Structure 1
Amino acid sequence: MALIFRWLIRLATALVFLCVAAISLAYYFAARSLPDYNAQTDVAGISATVEIVRDNANVPHIFAANDNDAFFALGYAHAQDRLWQMTMLRRTVQGRLSELFGTRTVEIDKVMRRYDLYNLSVASVAAQDAQTLDALTAYSAGVNAWLAEVNSGARGRGAPEMWLFSHPVSPWQPADSIAIMKLMALQLSPHLENEVLRARTSLLIDPDRLADIMPDDPTSGIAALPAYAALVPDVAPNSTGTRMAADPLSPFHPPELAGASNAWAANETRSATGSTLLANDPHLGLTAPTIWYLARLELETGGVIGATIPGMPIVLSGRGDSLGWGITAAYVDDVDILIEEVNPDDPTQYRSPDGWAPFRSRDSIINIKDAPAITLRLRWTANGPVMPGTQFNLGTITPPGHVTAIAWSALSDRDTSISAAMGIMRARTVNAAIRAGETFIAPALNLTLADRNRIAMKTIGALPARNANHQSQGRFPSFGYLPENRWQGRFPYAENPIFLNPEGGIIGNTNNKTVDRDFPHHLSFLWGDTQRINRWRLLMQAREVHTRDSFIEAQQDTVSFTARTLSALMGADLWFTGDAAPEGTPARKRQIALDLLSAWNGEMNEHLPEPLIYAAWVRAVQQRLIRDELGPLAAEFTHVDPVFIERVFRDIDGASIWCDVIQSAPVETCTDIARQALDDAIIWVTENHGAAIEAVRWGDAHVATHDHPVLGKTPLLHWFVNIQQSTSGGDNTLQRGKTSGVGPAPFQNVHAAGYRGVYDFADPDSSVFVTSTGQSGHPLSRYYDNLGELWRRGEYIPMSLDPALARAAAVGVTVLTPAP
């Protein structure tokens, strides 16, 4: 027995030793890719010495003799910190994820190949102006200089993920940066999926009720349109369908998680500082690391500092010494679905206005890890690429003998958006930035501007010119062979909305409707916000003048205008009614919940129970209202539409009919639905967050999930690569934390402001900014999540162009010298 015990001890010791050795070895190899920020390196591609000074938050401040050397250094810094992220963005837009991830990503690659964004980007290189092409070339050379160091064998393959997904990394080139801009356009457009859902819904319900469940902005004067079945006959109602798998690697998101942002500015008449103010916080899906990367460039036109996206040599939101700029998704309807009739006698042809025309086609091979390659037949019509019915649920709205083609402004082989963005970054006045935006194509953005004296907001991006007789006004799929349904180019830039130094002294956008124009000169019927704008207007008008700190307060505001409105409507007949109920009974819990909500001001604070009770309640209300009419399709409505709920409970245009359950004999009232839904919500909250509803916390459900797209679900590793934080805010607060809406944790915060900046031109160096994670994409770096806790607490770091401040307590200075 003693001998066995001794051998067990030896075996256990050996196993522990082997585990420690394996972990040490893994750490060693992973840590090899951590860059040394204090280094002097000879590189080919620069004309003079360049300094990359990394301040105490690891924000690179780049000082160079000329612009091209500065862009070279930005590419070098991006690659040092975010090489894996950059290669993944490029692979995504190329449709080459399956080479690394196998069959998991084949459907993503198929869609990306059909859009052909990468080849369009290659063709667009020739369309850039000379200055931008020089910048793209220099930036690519900087990225490749770091790749050369990695390939020399001293940098651990450039990123720890490369050890797990080993594959050669091809040199960076200008087309890659253009392609990432197109990928951004894809992520910001909700219109395709919305058109499909609108068509599917209209096939199931009374056309008069479509305006309830998928309402226009309440300020809209647009008349109701005919049902989809009247436009495209022979399509059977279909309440079932499949969403593309919610893979973290996918760039495709449901319409509810399309781009969202806030931006506002005050001129000197509404500023206490004597000059202008500007705030911007663009919202995208949360990831680890965040998509945003802070950087400062010293250019020949002056210093610029702000938020970049690794892979592109531009500051997308930031400031110089005399101009600040911010971006919000404009929600321009720049996508149409065209139903193309296939020649029954020759499937290589489709109907055009002039008769049968051949599809333009070619084959594309998708290589798949651990599986045979597949050959994809790509087809285009004059309207755009053809998508199969299996993708985006297009088959549910396509009649037999037809296919669907996608018209989209980003499908341009002369895309000069990156040249326009470069011009905006170099501009020094509001007017110069507006002029630079003329060549911007996609994604459509609202560009908010402030120089030292004036403010403006201009929509940049191509506005499709539709025929006034378009059958569906772009809201439903329509027949592509009818001339009236085809695009007629785009409207001139002068027609893009502009607000220049308004009399009120303040401009802003929360993805709300900006102009009310009749079709076809409208921008969109679908807007990203009908709610946050109300709270913003109140905060802006509550003060005669504003300061940097009041703009910060507005960015951090967590009071929900929506919650204040809807909780009062849903509880109108429930407050303080009913007999006393014994402790622990459903009636007693309902009374406790109503008592809490009755005294609540709508603040979506992470430490309070009321936001969780409200969120679960209104979600249950919507499900009870729609599931009998829509059946399985109700699952597609993952987020509460406040306008729909308000229409029902105010009985606008007879919308209270939704409260009656059509399959039951009794006639249910909206009070019945509200009470039953509150009971549903209480059951869900107590089962998932504790029996004492007065003690639950919104922050326990509203957890910001900055997950690593590749390793975030890997056992053990997810503890090291994911960043999760309890957060305040919600779907409709200015400090927006959009919830997932699906799965066992529907209130997780998955889409928020990955970047926040506030710029004060009375004292520009007092401007501040922050991102949601950190500068590094390396999980072993202390800069992987160093900004995350500041972001969670609503704090910022200085946004200064003062070289002395950058050098003070710098964490490293990288000196690049021209190779002999």
Structure 2
Amino acid sequence: MKILKTLGWILLGFILVVILVVLIGRQTLKPEYDGATTLPGLQRDVDVFYDTYGIPHIYAKTELDAIRALGYVHAQDRLWQMELLRRVGSGGLSEVFGKDLIDADKLFLSLGIADATEKTVRELDPEDPVVKLSQAYLDGINHFIKEGPTPMEFLLTGIEKTPFTLKDIYNSMGYMAYTFATAHRTDPLLTAIRTKLDSTYLADLEIGETAHPTRIPVHTDSLQMQVSKELASVVHNSLSGLPVPQFMGSNSWVIGPEKTKNGKVILANDPHIGFGQPSTWYEAHLNAPGYEKYGYHLAGFPFPLLGHNRKAAYGLTMFLNDDTDFYFEQVHPQDSTKYKTVDGWATYETRTYRIPVKDADTVTYTYKISSRGPLVNGISKDLEILPEISMSWLYTKQENKLLKVLHGISHADNIESFRDALPDLHAPGLNVMYGDAEGNIAWWATAKLYDLPGGVNSKFILDGANGQEEPVKFRDFIENPQSVNPSSNYVYSANNQPDSIRGGLYRGYYLPENRARRIVNLLETRDDWDLDATKEMITDVTSPVNPSVITELAKSMKVKALTDQEIKILDILGKWEGDYPLNSVAATIFHRWVYFFLENTFADELGETLFPKFLDTNFCKRLIAPMAAKEESVWWDDINTAEKEVKKDIIQESFDEAITSLKAQLGEDHTKWTWERVHTLEHGHPMGEVEALRTFFNVGPFPVPGSREVINNLAFPYEGDGQYQVTAGPSTRRVIDFSDIENSVSILPTGQSGNPLSPHYEDQAEMFANGEFRKMLLNRKEIEVNAVSRLLLRKE
């Protein structure tokens, strides 16, 4: 009994210590939204009013002061996120997370992001206004690092806070640009398929640019097999373990005055990015004489990528153009330091980096560089023994003016000055959407586009030695797909194929037409769009394509006696309109059937290594509907059986497996196979990988409506386990209405702050899951009256 009492007192003491630590932490580690503090470098005091959702409204006497204040308040909410983002492109993740991320660090070092950053920063003019503003933003961050509390993630990982520099901005940009590219997931895989099988297998994979009719209208004013297989696996595995989200897709449309109820432009935008915690975007409203912008900032970026004010609004989607090419290099038979070119043997350049690794020895990493780009063989031991492959990535091969572009579009005051800022954007490829108070609407596909010699297919690994497969011409910006004030009175982008320009379609890795068709169908049907109708549209969960997939699958089933339950299931599917509310049974059955349809069609030929990578590609998404409609295909036959299977065999087998799988997972009663039981969203924090910390750092899970390739694109991987855990989707939903600009709305997936001790860490999460919105405040009187707190930043 005495021992139990003693243990009880020890346990009580432990609990009291934990409570004390938590209370102290909440007071010392949380962001400071109220009071006053000194910010060196300010010319005048700056007022920061925080609204109900923790969004700072910054009022300064100069833009330089406003952006210095932005750096400070951004850092106190998102310093850990800034730290991770700057580390990715410079190969610094292993130092935080250990040896599991060594290959990821090698991959990003091999891309040449850090090398390109060094060159770019070295050539910057310190008197350039863009550089001055960027440095002021960094000074604000660094003052918080010096004087502010240390976020608990730094304490848990044991890493030190260090000042941010211009190099960190450009390294973060490099990571963003790479995740916008798609070739690294596709070219090695397609080369492996072509080598392992034959060209007849490529015909049904929808890898060309002509596959889907819903295109964005343009309006102008063997060893190879092993190499490709290993490269596809290494890139896939390196990216899958990253502790920061990847950019995936997006929707946007801008409706002209002729199609709106109040005769003013409406812009809608929801960029699709991998979910994580904290949310991708940091919202901030900056005000200074001559400058006002309500903007969405990436961690460590001084200028917003999305934004609006009373004059104009802009948004982004991924262009998905092809800006990355892989090349086989021919190595000199007696000298491995040389490679073949059309002019003879050239010598590789080399780069050597030391990669610090948490709880392990530092790794020395050296890679070679040809005239086309860095060799990727050193990323993994599996690649070292294979023929050498270089990667030519436009981002590192052209002068980097992305910071200038972001400054230009955020400071443009009309459509002409906005458009003039765009040609300097070489990579990543972006669809830039624009609308203004004067009634102008526009879409520009922005990137430095280039032509390859005729007959060269850039979706395969090319031959570097012959000199016949390299770019021959860069296009002028006027030749890019674009549309300005078209007769349709709307512009849109859903990562689908732009229509032809210069007599042809530009090559890329475009997503299927599902979302595009739905957007066009909805916009065409009415001319009285308003804020509420656009909010409803941006959360729409209906696919115009998926019911036709069901029709094709159902009519191609084997003729056989069906059970009563199978008849009822097919009846549910036959009446389905392609929508994805939480209570949908058809949605659950559809995706289970489609998964087994893909597995039984492709897995036997691709094998257990390539099939999961195949499921992760855009062309896999593109081929589902066309494949369901095909009567003949070389893929129907299962190469592992003596019989020759046909379409009916594959579809029937897939249906049977889907029903068996659903019963095992969700029970015998098919009426209870609802979408909310399998389609869930949890916002994962890197620290949440530790189970004991999961509930503290992660947000969710929530059952969510929507699905892959609907406007409310809450996407998930196909993995065969029947759990459709959402991994990517709208990183924000914004609707800007110029008829009532002060009541425009948006939402973040979780909250404004990345600090778990902040009240704004997850205060928008349930609203986001429910498809709700909140105001983006612009009126100073309303902001001050309703401000939850005021932070005064004093000059020294």
Specify if TM > 0.5. Answer: yes
Between 543-552 and 505-514, report the one with greater CA deviation: 543-552
- Give the equivalent residue in structure 1 for 2:446: 460
Counterpart in the other structure of 1:135: 133
Distance of aligned partners of 1:630 and 1:116 in 2 relative to their CA distance in 1, 3 Å threshold:
closer
Which residue does the alignment assign to 2:667?
Answer: 690
Deviation at 1:394, TM superposition (A): 6.5
Note if contact 1:589-1:682 (Cα within 8 Å) is conserved in structure 2: no
Q: Name the CA distance, whole Å, in 2 between partners of 1:197 and 1:566.
A: 26
**Given the alignment, which residue of 272, 275, 288 partners 2:264?**
275
SS in 2 for 1:733: coil
Q: CA deviation at 1:651?
A: 2.4
Assess, with a 3 A threshold, how the Cα gap between structure 1 residues 489 and 650 changes in structure 2: closer, same or farther: closer
Other structure's SS at 2:395 match: coil
Q: Deviations over 1:580-619 (max 9, x none)?
A: 7xxxxxx344233212212221111122221111110111
More displaced 10-residue stretch of structure 1: 270-279 or 123-132: 123-132
Deviations 1:742-799 (A, max 9, x none): 3745511110001111111122112111110101111122200111111111111112
Q: What's 1:49 paired with? A: 45
| Contact 2:550/2:590 (8 A) holds in 1 | yes
3-state SS of 2:712 partner: coil
Q: Distance in 2 between matches of 1:188 and 1:725?
A: 27
Mapped to 2, the partners of 1:660 and 1:403 lie a distance apart of 35
Of the candidates 198, 201, 209, which is equivalent to residue 201 of structure 2? 209
Whichever residue aligns with residue 360 of structure 1, its letter is E
Q: Following TM superposition, by how much is the alpha carbon of 1:252 offset from its aligned partner in structure 2, in angstroms?
A: 9.2
- The 1-side partners of 2:620 and 2:406 are apart by 34
CA deviations 1:151-200 (Å, max 9, x no partner) are xxxx2x2x111111122222112221222122111111111220011101
For 1:651, which of 630, 633, 638 is the aligned residue?
630
Name whichever of 722-731 and 281-290 sits farther off: 722-731
Tell me the equivalent position of 2:412: 427
CA distance in structure 2 between the partners assigned to 1:797 and 1:202 by the alignment: 50
Q: Indicate the residue corresponding to 2:601 in structure 1.
A: 625
Moved more, 16-25 or 199-208: 16-25
Partner deviation per Cα, 1:230-270 (whole Å, 9 max, x = no partner): xxx865698677354377751799xxx75200010111111
Q: Which residue of 1 aligns with 2:217?
A: none
1:181-192 matched pairs, under 5 angstroms: 181-192=173-184
1:457 alignment partner AA: W
**Are the structure 2 counterparts of residues 646 and 91 from structure 1 closer, same or farther at C-alpha, using a change threshold of 3 Å?**
closer
Residue 225 of structure 1 corresponds to: none
Q: Are the equivalent residues in 2 in contact too, given 1:239–1:631 (CA < 8 A)?
A: no
Name the residue aligned to 2:542: 559
Q: 1:284 Cα deviation (Å)?
A: 0.4
Report the secondary structure of 2:623's partner residue. helix
Q: 1:743 to 1:781 in 2, by over 3 A?
A: farther
Aligned to 1:670: 647
Q: What's the counterpart of residue 180 of structure 1? A: 172
Cα offset for 1:217? 4.6
Segment of structure 1 superposing worse, 321-330 or 525-534: 525-534
Partner-residue secondary structure (3-state), 1:499: strand
Sequence identity (%): 25
Name the CA distance, whole Å, in 2 between partners of 1:671 and 1:560: 25
Who is 1:224 aligned against?
none
Secondary structure of the residue that 1:748 maps to in structure 2? strand
Larger mean Cα displacement after TM superposition, 698-707 or 12-21: 12-21
2:579 maps to 603
Match of 1:165 among 126, 134, 157: 157
Q: For residue 70 of structure 2, what is the aligned residue in structure 1?
A: 74
Q: Distance in 2 between matches of 1:217 and 1:20?
A: 64
Identify the residue that residue 147 of structure 2 maps to in structure 1.
149
Residue 476 of structure 1 aligns to which amino acid in structure 2? F
The alpha-carbon deviation at position 342 of structure 1 amounts to: 1.2
Offset, 1:537: 1.1
Change in Cα spacing, 1:743 to 1:312, as seen in structure 2 (3 Å) is farther
User: CA–CA distance in 1 between the matches of 2:382 and 2:325?
Assistant: 15
Corresponding position: 1:615 with 2:615: no
| Paired residues of 1:380 and 1:405 also in contact (CA < 8 A) | yes
Question: Within 5 Å, which residues of 2 pair with 1:390-789?
Answer: 402-412=387-397, 414-452=399-437, 453-463=439-449, 465-469=450-454, 472-488=456-472, 490-517=474-501, 522-573=505-556, 579=561, 587-632=563-608, 633-638=610-615, 641=620, 643-651=622-630, 654-655=632-633, 657-708=634-685, 710-723=686-699, 724-742=701-719, 744=721, 746-789=723-766
Amino acid at match of 2:233: T
**What do residues 696-752 of structure 1 show as CA deviations (whole Å, max 9, x unaligned)?**
2212211112100x2122122101211121111111101001112237455111100
Q: CA 1:68/1:298 → structure 2, altered by over 3 Å: closer, same or farther? A: same
* Unaligned residue ranges in structure 2 (runs of 5+): 214-221
Query: Structure 1 residue 378: deviation in Å?
Result: 2.5
Q: Distance in 2 between matches of 1:203 and 1:750?
A: 32
Summarize the Cα distance change of 1:769–1:438 in structure 2 as closer, same or farther, 3 Å threshold: same
Give the counterpart letter for 1:406 in structure 2.
M
Structure 2 counterpart SS, 1:100:
helix
1:297 aligns with 2:286: yes
Report the TM-score when normalising by structure 2: 0.93
The reply to whether residue 358 of structure 1 matches residue 347 of structure 2 is yes
User: In structure 2, the residue corresponding to 1:184 is in which secondary structure?
Assistant: helix
Letter in 1 for 2:602: I
Give the length in aligned residue pairs.
779
SS in structure 1 opposite 2:786? coil
What is the SS of the residue equivalent to 1:61? strand
Q: Supply the AA of the counterpart residue of 1:625.
A: T
1:498 Cα shift?
1.6
- Separation in structure 2 between the aligned mates of residue 331 and residue 247 of structure 1, nearest angstrom: 18
Q: Structure 1 stretches of 5 or more lacking a match?
A: 222-228, 581-586
Question: How much does 1:113 deviate?
Answer: 1.6
> 2 CA distance for matches of 1:561 and 1:475?
29
Distance, in Å, in 2 between the alignment partners of 1:808 and 1:195 is: 56
Question: Secondary structure of 2:159's match?
Answer: coil
Asked whether the 8 Å contact 1:338–1:405 carries over to 2, the reply is yes
On the 8 A contact 2:356/2:363 being kept in 1, the answer is yes
**Structure 1 stretch 737-746 or stretch 373-382: which is displaced more?**
737-746
Q: Distance in 2 between matches of 1:392 and 1:447?
A: 40
Partner-residue secondary structure (3-state), 1:41: strand
Q: Residue 40 of structure 1: CA displacement?
A: 0.9
* CA–CA separation in structure 2 for the residues paired with 1:702 and 1:234: 39
Name the CA distance, whole Å, in 2 between partners of 1:446 and 1:202.
31
Partner of residue 226, structure 1: none
Deviations 1:180-225 (A, max 9, x none): 122111111111220011101112233122121344355479xxxx
- After TM superposition, give the deviation of residue 802 of structure 1 in Å: 0.7
Q: Is the Cα–Cα contact under 8 Å of residues 666 and 672 in structure 2 kept in the other structure?
A: no
Alpha-carbon distance between aligned partners in 1 of 2:272 and 2:666, rounded to the nearest angstrom? 28
Cα deviation digits, residues 313-366 of structure 1 (max 9, x gap): 112112111111010000111000011111121111111221111111132111
Q: 1:280 to 1:487 in 2, by over 3 A?
A: same
The letter for the 1-side match of 2:155 is W
C-alpha distance 201-249 of structure 1, shift in aligned 2 (>3 A): closer
Post-superposition shift, 1:16?
3.3
Is residue 2:342 matched to residue 1:332?
no
CA contact (8 A) 1:739 1:747 kept: yes
Distance 1:386 1:300, change over 3 A: farther
CA RMSD of superposed structures (Å): 2.5
Aligned partners of 1:98, 1:389: CA distance in 2, in Å? Answer: 16
